[in-house]
Amino acid sequence: MNHFREPGGNRGGGTFRQNVYMDAFRFLPWNSRAIDSPVAAKSGKLVCLPRGRVASSVLAVGILIGLSAPVRATDPARDPTPAEIATIITKFAAKESEFAKARDLYTYRQTSKIIEYDDAGNPGGKYELVADVVFTDAGKRTERVVRAPVSTLAKIQMTPEDEADLRNVLPFVLTTQDLGEYDVRYLGRQKVDEIGCYMFAVKPKQLDKSGKRYFEGEIWVDDQDLQIVKTYGRSTGYLKTKGQQFPKFETYRQQIDGKYWFPTYTYSDDILNFQQGPQRIKTIVRYDDYKRFKTESIIKYGDPGTGGESPQLPPSTPPPPH
């Protein structure tokens, strides 16, 4: 994102209201207490993060982060050996490859919202895009815009990198093919509510000058299914235009089909330190109405065409935050 802030005015950042936009998400501002939020549902049961975790400030590549990784209780189970860790990484990347292929056979709706705030913490301009990922009559996968009101963002500007991140990085998948591009470091065993997980730090080895976008942060891998159930981090990549900033985000997955964990929510509430001054933005992305397409034919993405209405499934709506 690029910054459009006008000269002058209060640039101290100040404090901001600790509210939550939409009932499905949560954020962790400085010195705040975490509230319940959805992470994943397994076997029909909604899984929520526990209360009472501590948030801390994070400084990442010149960005002062208002959303920070919470401290969680460590799972008492034995940590794997280095050889076992290598095997776990290989296996979960293979599972992610299976999931990526399976997700390409699903239709779904993606709703993306970005909101900017003024120094007093009041919401201002907004960007919104609602799009259905569907199939044409010829069986080709395409994206159909359902709603795209004129952006009213005044302090920041959406860039091609932001648009690529909304589509590919926020719902991060680490496949076998992509594994060689990342350094993956084991951090320990931790539980996301009732789900035992291996936690890994993930960082790209180098930034491709082609402009490819990457994920940098932490992932939680279910120790039974060996699939990612949660990610926390930011997008990154080689930038030809200096001065862009990208917020930290959390993406939660849910077991949709009884086998694979699908991204369902992404949430970010962050303060980006631009040269002109700090700017708070909030990002919310929902991935709804997953429905498997009926054919196993080869799928090509991006071809124009018209598809039927995105099939409707009852959305997994979490309880509102307390």
Span 103-142, pLDDT tens digits? 999 999 999 999 999 999 999 999 999 999 999 988 899 9
- The helix (H) or strand (E) run that includes residue 83 is helix 82-103
Query: Rounded to the nearest 5°, which phi and psi values hold at 289?
Result: 60, 45
Q: Which residues contact 6 (CB under 8 A, 6 or more apart)?
A: none
Beta bridge partners of 130: 111, 147
User: SS3 of 219, please?
Assistant: strand
The answer to whether residues 106 and 290 touch, using CB atoms and an 8 Å cutoff, is yes
- 3-state secondary structure at position 302: coil
Ranges 2-11, 85-94, 283-292: which has the least confidence: 2-11
Residue environment code for 210-234, b if the CB has 16+ CB neighbours within 10 A, otherwise e? eeebbbbbbbbbbbebbbbbbbbbb
What's the mean pLDDT in 298-318? 39
Separation between Cα atoms, residue 237 and residue 248, nearest integer Å: 14
Query: Token pair of 248, please?
Result: 């930290």
Query: Which tops the pLDDT comparison, 193 or 277?
Result: 277
Say if pTM beats, i.e. exceeds, 0.75: no
Measured CA to CA, the distance from residue 99 to residue 229 in angstroms comes to 12
Please give the full DSSP string across 122-191, using - where no structure is assigned.
Answer: -EEEEEEEEEEEEEBTTS-EEEEEEE-PPP---SEE--HHHHHIIIIITT----HHHHTTEEEEEEEEEE
How far, in Å, are 2, 213, 239, 264 from residue 242 at the CA level? 9, 15, 6, 32
pLDDT at 109: 97
- Asked if residue 72 lies in contact with residue 54, where contact means CB atoms within 8 angstroms, the answer is no
Q: What are phi and psi of 286, to 5 degrees?
A: -120, 140
- Residues 48, 36: contact at Cβ < 8 Å? yes
Let me know the angle formed at the C-alpha of 72 by 70 and 74, rounded to the nearest 5 degrees: 150
Please report the pLDDT score of residue 293 as a whole number. Answer: 86
CB 57 within 8 A of CB 49: no
- Residues linked to residue 54 through DSSP beta bridges, in sequence order: 33
Domain residue extents for the chain = 2-7+20-290
3 state SS of 253: strand
The helix or strand, by DSSP H or E, that contains position 10, with its residue range, turns out to be none
Residue 17 is predicted with a pLDDT of 28
Report the C-alpha gap between 299 and 12 in whole angstroms.
Answer: 50
pLDDT digit string, tens, across residues 181-237: 999 999 999 998 889 999 999 999 999 999 999 999 999 999 999 999 999 999 999
